[in-house]
Chains A and B, each alone.
Chain A
Amino acid sequence: MTQPVFLGMPTAPEGVGHLRGRRPFPEAARATLGDAQLRRNLAKATGTIRAKRAQVVGELPDWSELRAAGAALKDQVLANLDGYLVQLEERVTARGGVVHWAGDATEANRIVAGLVAAAGAREVVKVKSMATQEIGLNEALAAAGIAAWETDLAELIVQLGHDSPSHILVPAIHRNRAEIREIFLREMGKVGLPAPADLSDQPRALAEAARLHLRRKFLEATVAVSGANFAVAETGTLAVVESEGNGRMCLTLPRTLITVMGIEKLVPTWRDLEVFLQLLPRSSTGERMNPYTSMWTGVHAGDGPSAFHLVLLDNGRTATLADPQGRAALRCIRCSACLNVCPVYERTGGHAYGSVYPGPIGAVLSPQLTGVGDNASLPYASTLCGACYDVCPVAIDIPQMLVHLRSRVVDARREHGRVPSPEQAVMASAAYAMDSPARWTAALRAARLGRLLGGRRRKLTALPPPLSPWTGTRDVPLPPRQSFRDWWAKR
């Protein structure tokens, strides 16, 4: 009798969506680090949001309690996800909505394209959504002959610029207003109402051009596609928080509303929103409250959409849940506070990460959704400085999780590689030397030979691989004549 073989939890499939980069992080980062405009835009934008966040978080005397409550609520959801999801499905269905279950990006895209076609639409308007970026919904709809219009200002800039988002909250953070003016002038007319010819790069003028361009899209669309910030299992209510009002337009004007939501977005009860509606805006935009909070429960005759579809997306989330040391990444509420404080993100920008989830949270989430074999360079895209953990509103210990994922990357290579990599050899020989004081003493004495390489400079300016990247930008002092332990032994 043959035993069934357990192949592990399915991860996000290849060839669809935007979770994998074409190049490893260090290579992609090399290119973006050389972009002086990008570096300047990012330093200014992240610095501004960082300061705003610090100020409004500092106002709340109970921030640490709120943070602990947010973490505990999300952990409760994750530990009982099966029950809460079924409860949500029952409540949404009872209120006239239709729930669809999508195992991965391909399935979710097929469901949404089918629903749009069934509604007889060739165009949809979109609320900014990470889940639909993750699965590459716009491309899938385009392949089905359906045009998807992004209505969030920053997403519009990215879409018109034939670009990709580089930040979870501020997807066009890598653009400045002069670049945005250029994009609007060049592209708006190709897909709808053109920008006025005398458009300036003043924020008010840019926003007005976008408002006029989008107004026509809102009025013409019969189908809207959104993501969701939260879903309340107890009531079947979906929630979107936003700043521009475009979301409110999409959620109320069209006849059909399709929401694509990751299965981890649940909260147990209505009351739990009180915690997250305090944590999220202060952490993300640095505002006490976001301007628009839209909530809807099923459908209501004569009020808002007459058809509501909820697509529940897995796409590697169950696989992430299966790792006890990685699952806390699913607490994430996509605030992006960790991006704004990350010294790596601030310099490389989001595109270097290759995934729609950049920055520290992306470095732990993307490799888990895809499996660590893909995105193996991302857990190493951090100095483990710890700034991300300190600002995370749901207390995800990202540095610790990065180290855990690094060990998974190394273990996977160990299992698959027949010949140890140079790095494995260096690590093994270092551990061997360090596991014996006699061998360690001998190694330190041997290192003194390095003094000969320094000549009269009293420093080393070029080391052989694998240490050559060090001396690309940094000198090394000469090894001393006497190690500390030799000094101590003779003292």
Chain B
Amino acid sequence: MRVALFVTCLVDGLFPDVGKATVQLLERLGCQVEVPLAQTCCGQMHINTGYLPEALPLVRRHVAAFGGYEAVVAPSGSCAGSVRHQHAWVASEAGDPELAAAARELASRTYELSEFLVDALGVTDVGAYYPHRVTYHPTCHSLRVLRVGDKPLRLLREVGGIDLVELPQAESCCGFGGTFAVKNPDTSAAMLADKMHHVLATGAEVCSASDSSCLLHIGGGLSRLRAGVRTVHLAEILASTRTEQPEVPPR
């Protein structure tokens, strides 16, 4: 299957290993992966902060960049969510029904990674091997915008060697919320404190999620505390095999 990777701006600029792991995983599963370099950012930050006119050219760019691919896959629940649930609205607000129609059409071809693996490729055992104690934060937009349900957990349960431990109050928000983290830093920190408390209670060495933005927040808090728990994207775990451990940073 010919698949376009919607890598997301955050992965592109700050977490390239997540993008590399996604490519590696999809290729291992037989996909022909392409990365249209006309993509930049879906505009979610602008939309969610109320800057719709600023977001409009980004929506237009995104729709143009991904025309013609059978499937578009993003390693992010919130970015896939923005494409699926916000782009057509932004276009309609700007009085551009053609763009809105194109955005709706693209939305129907856009998948978050776990959805793509389970629903489009029909696999849960991706042949991964990851001998670590892991807890999984399911992320709000994966759960309540995309409704991915337990697909990420079904993928993780098939990973060889993994010790998957349940995260208490997993469905609670971690407190990131995009610009919320900066506009309401105290409330964000209070929510993060509770999330970290639950992560630490599991005794896991790795906290995983399918969104680098939530992991930037949770990982940033754990790093500040020197908590000894690292954050690893779902794609990096699923890309790991007995011979390849892409998430271990190079010395």
Contacts and interface: CB of A to CB of B under 8 A. Distances in A.
Interface of A: 25-26, 29-30, 33, 39, 343-344, 347-348, 379-387, 389-390, 400, 403, 405-411, 423-424, 427-428, 430-431, 434-437, 440, 443-444, 447, 459, 461, 466-467, 469-470, 472-477, 479-480, 482-485, 487-489
B212 to A, nearest CB: 10
Contacts of A381: 184, 187
A472 B140 contact: no
A474 B224 contact: yes
Nearest to A431: B54
Interface string B39-81: 1110101111111101101100100000000000000000000
B172 interface: yes
Contacts of B38: 437
A403 B37 contact: no
Given A383-B140, A473-B192, A483-B12, A431 B186 contact: no
B221 interface: yes
**Looking at chain B's contact residues, is the secondary structure mostly helix, strand, loop, or mixed?**
helix
Nearest to B171: A387
Nearest to B187: A29
Interface string B88-100: 0100010000000
Interface stretch (B14-22, B103-111, B198-206): B14-22
Interface of B: 7, 9, 11-17, 19-20, 23, 35, 37-41, 43, 45-52, 54-55, 57-58, 61, 85-86, 89, 93, 140-141, 143-145, 171-173, 175-192, 194, 216-217, 219-221, 223-224
A477 to B, nearest CB: 7
Contacts of B12: 444, 483-485
A116 B171 CA distance: 50
Given A385-B177, A431-B58, A473 B221 contact: yes
A438 to B, nearest CB: 10
A476 B182 contact: no
Q: Can you list the 5 inter-chain pairs with the closest CB atoms, starting with the nearest? A: A383-B177, A474-B220, A406-B50, A386-B144, A469-B185
Contacts of A479: 13-14
A406 B217 CA distance: 23
Contact of B182 (A25, A29, A469, A475): A469
Contacts of B37: 437, 485, 488-489
17 contacts: A33-B187, A383-B140, A384-B140, A384-B141, A384-B178, A386-B140, A387-B171, A390-B144, A400-B85, A410-B51, A427-B49, A430-B46, A435-B61, A436-B40, A470-B182, A473-B192, A484-B16
Contacts of B171: 387
B172 A29 contact: no
**Looking at chain A's contact residues, is the secondary structure mostly helix, strand, loop, or mixed?**
helix
Given A459-B223, A484-B19, 20 more contacts: A26-B183, A39-B190, A343-B191, A347-B187, A380-B179, A383-B176, A384-B141, A387-B173, A389-B144, A410-B49, A424-B51, A427-B45, A435-B61, A443-B13, A444-B12, A444-B13, A470-B182, A485-B35, A488-B19, A488-B35
Contacts of A423: 49
B13 A380 contact: no
Residue picked from B45, B143, B190, most chain A C-beta under 10 Å: B190
A390 B38 CA distance: 36
B54 to A, nearest CB: 4
Given A29-B187, A437-B40, A403 B47 contact: yes
Contacts of B20: 484, 487
B185 A472 contact: yes
A386 B11 CA distance: 24
B180 A380 contact: yes
A472 B184 CA distance: 12
A434 B41 CA distance: 6
Contacts of B7: 484-485
A473 B224 contact: yes
A384 B86 CA distance: 13
Contacts of B54: 427-428, 430-431
Contact of B220 (A25, A406, A435, A475): A475
B187 A344 contact: yes
A480 B16 contact: yes
B186 A434 contact: no
Contacts of A434: 9, 40-41, 43, 58, 61
Contacts of A461: 224
Contacts of A407: 50-52, 93
Nearest to A26: B184
B45 to A, nearest CB: 7
A470 B177 CA distance: 12
B176 A440 contact: no
Contacts of B224: 461, 473-475
Nearest to B62: A434
B56 to A, nearest CB: 9
B21 to A, nearest CB: 11
Given A410-B50, A470-B182, A475-B223, A382 B189 contact: no
Contacts of A477: 14-15, 216, 219, 223
A477 B18 CA distance: 14
A55 B25 CA distance: 40
Nearest to A410: B50
Nearest to A429: B54
Nearest to A481: B16
A343 B52 contact: no
Contacts of A409: 50
A480 B11 CA distance: 10
B184 A25 contact: yes
